[in-house]
Amino acid sequence: MNLSNRISQIKPSPTLAVDAKAKAMKAQGVDLVSFGAGEPDFDTPENIKEAAIKAIRDGFTRYTAAGGTDELKDAVIDKFRKDNGLEYTRGEVVVNCGGKHSFYNLAQVLFDQGDEVIIPAPFWVSYPPMTILAGAKPVIVETTQEQNFKITPEQLRENVTPATKALVINSPSNPTGSVYTRAELEAIAQVAVENDFFLISDDIYEKILFDGATFHTMASIGKEVKERSLVLNGVSKSYSMTGWRIGYMAGPKEIIGAVTKIQSQSTSNPNSIAQKAAVEALTGPQDFIDMLREAFQERKDYIIRRLNQMPGIRCFDPKGAFYAFPNVSEYYGRTISGKKIEDSNSMADFLLDVAKVAVVPGIGFGADPYIRLSFATSMEQIREGLDRMERALTSD
């Protein structure tokens, strides 16, 4: 069977693949600890669920406008005003079927054959494939733990060409948890203004911050920067609504209109019931977020301390999101329990087979010396998983 050339250029999402494998093993009765899933383990708050139930009972089960309801757009506009000091109109906001869908639609609208998109590594696994699917070239710029996994203005300038169409910034970052300061964003934005390219700001982990870190978004830097900024966000992470599939985007009216047009010819509107739930998430009580952040802070402190105490492992201390990204490359080239560890893939296989612990290989994030552990799971599971991991790595 002959499939399209475009599909042959990409691989399945490694994070979803690990999560699916872990769930399948658990279903078979395997006593497994999974650090794979990038979703909070808390249930969606009751007020949000009740809003969805009411929507069903009220018969709000038909098509909405392709780019989302005015009610939800207004809630998003109000969120941007209150949280970020940004002013948008309805024509500058679109609601998508999850944050991933937001980036995919934007890539289809913004990128073309011959365009280059600068993506700092480590990166979220789907940025390069979705760039490739739009016909553009991902330009991967490696960052290091020593520079807190953040691209510098100097690195950016070195990689800008006449073909550069956009830079992707994800802060707080998946997988590293790095958070850009306002000064760092200002310096990066200056390069974008000087060289006339777009800034794509993926802010999905905006509310999950640690150790007093402060969030800033690109569009808030100034008028000239806002005009070339696309801000992506959603309700999945902050409100434990990953399965509801509601993301949203704000930016220049022409681009948002084009995203709405492509959505009208693909998925049509986001789920009507989930939109009602998202309105409640954004406009209702926000105390859930404080609880979430406090729980993740406790887990983060524990998992980073434990990982850094393990022989041969060093782990960056994240300031946001809910991931640990330890460097495990000291184990590469070793044979433990009869298994040769050569890279992040074989490390992940080793931990799954020997320790019954699921992690995501760093290669999928553009950083093979590392593995990703999500601490969006209970402290009990975190303790057990790290105990198993340490025993397995020190067994020989």
pLDDT at 99 over 90: yes
pTM of the model as a whole: 0.95
**Terminal Cα distance for the chain, rounded:** 47
- The model's pLDDT over 304-337, given as tens digits with 9 standing for 90+, comes to 999 999 999 999 999 999 999 999 999 999 999 9
Q: Quick one: pLDDT band at residue 384, thresholds 50, 70, 90?
A: very high
Strand partners, 117: 138, 166
b/e string for 35-51 if b means 16 or more Cβ within 10 A?
A: bbbbbbeeebbeebeeb
Contact 55, 69 (CB under 8 A): no
- The model's pLDDT over 179-236, given as tens digits with 9 standing for 90+, comes to 999 999 999 999 999 999 999 999 999 999 999 999 999 999 999 999 999 999 999 9
pLDDT at 15 over 80: no
Could you tell me the two tokens for 92?
């500058």
Q: What is the pLDDT of residue 27?
A: 87
Distance CA 291, CA 46 (A): 14
Distance CA 101, CA 267 (A): 10
Contact 95, 67 (CB under 8 A): yes
What is the number of helices (H) and of strands (E) in the chain? 14, 16
* Mean pLDDT calculated for residue range 353-362: 95
Residue matched to tokens 């399209």: 4
Contact 109, 259 (CB under 8 A): yes
190: exposed, middle or buried (Cβ count in 10 Å: 0-12, 13-18, 19+): middle
Angle at the Cα of 338 from the Cα atoms of 336 and 344, rounded to 5 degrees: 55
Residue matched to tokens 């599909």: 7
Q: What is the pLDDT of residue 199?
A: 98
Contact 38, 365 (CB under 8 A): no
Q: What is the pLDDT of residue 14?
A: 76
Q: Quick one: pLDDT band at residue 63, thresholds 50, 70, 90?
A: very high
Q: Quick one: pLDDT band at residue 6, thresholds 50, 70, 90?
A: confident
52, 56, 62, 64: CA torsion to nearest 10: -30
249 phi, psi to nearest 5 deg = -145, 145
pLDDT at 5 over 90: no
Could you tell me the two tokens for 42?
């808390």
Nearest in space to 375 (alpha carbons), one of 43, 40, 99: 40
